[in-house]
Amino acid sequence: MSEDLFFPVVETKRLILRPLAISDSESLLAIFSDPEVMQYWNTAPWATIQDAFDFVNGSNDSMRNRESITLGVYLKSSDELAGKCMLFNYDRESKRAEIGFGLSRLCWGKGYINEAGEALIQYGFNVLGLRRIEAEIDPDNLSSAKALEKLGFSREGLLRQRWEVNGIVSDSALYGRLASDKPGSTA
């Protein structure tokens, strides 16, 4: 498998998905320091530009090591960074990975998660040869649940008291989509 497979550029009608660069750090910090964006994450909001630098560097290291793919979601109309999407916890033998997203509040409700998500899912199934893609979300995050269901994921389980962030304990809802599932269907 070529290293280039882990550094893709994927285009959709309105978006370009491409690896993040250090020059994206200020935009990333603006997005991921927002408590509303980070409300349902299993980490606290970012506090400094170093958090963004570390994320970009760590993401690129993981891609070089063929462990994950982290792509910035850029608006074609302005080249503005709208957020990020990821395939992570990649398991080549089991042909599976987890998917995750983070989007600026200014970009919520515009269908970008569905557009970027389906493009990344298809990349995972058709290029990386994945059989299964999973997602783990806070069950109180109804927007993410709705987005995953629209992307054809099925809720498969609940892990009780899975995370504790800043003293708050939360559960995790588990979702899955198989390469054999029809897009937009829930099995």
- Tell me: the pLDDT tens digits for 9-28? 999 999 999 999 999 999 99
Q: Is residue 168 in some structural domain?
A: no
Question: Domain holding 122: CATH number?
Answer: 3.40.630.30
Mean pLDDT of 30-47: 91
Q: Does a structural domain hold residue 108? A: yes
User: Which range, of 1-5, 26-30, 41-45, 89-93, averages the lowest pLDDT?
Assistant: 1-5
Q: Which domain holds residue 101?
A: 3-130
Q: What is the pLDDT of residue 183?
A: 63
Please give the model's pTM, rounded to 2 decimal places: 0.91
Does residue 179 lie within any of the structural domains? no
Is 185 within the bounds of a domain? Answer: no
Contact criterion met (CB below 8 Å) for 159 and 174: yes
Residue spans of beta strands (DSSP E) within the chain: 10-11, 15-19, 69-75, 81-91, 96-103, 132-137, 154-165, 168-178
Domain count, the chain: 1
- Between CA 97 and CA 82 the distance in angstroms is 23
Cα separation values, 151 from 18, 49, 67, 146, 164, Å = 20, 33, 23, 9, 28
Place of tokens 């989007």: 103
The pLDDT, as a whole number, for residue 185 is 45
Average pLDDT over all residues of the chain: 93
Tens-digit pLDDT profile for residues 131-161: 999 999 999 999 999 999 999 999 999 999 9
Q: What is the pLDDT of residue 3?
A: 53
The answer as to whether 77 is a domain residue is yes
pLDDT tens profile 91-146: 999 999 999 999 999 999 999 999 999 999 999 999 999 999 999 999 999 999 99
Q: Tell me if 138 is assigned to some domain.
A: no
57 lies in a domain?
yes
Residue 163 lies in a domain: no
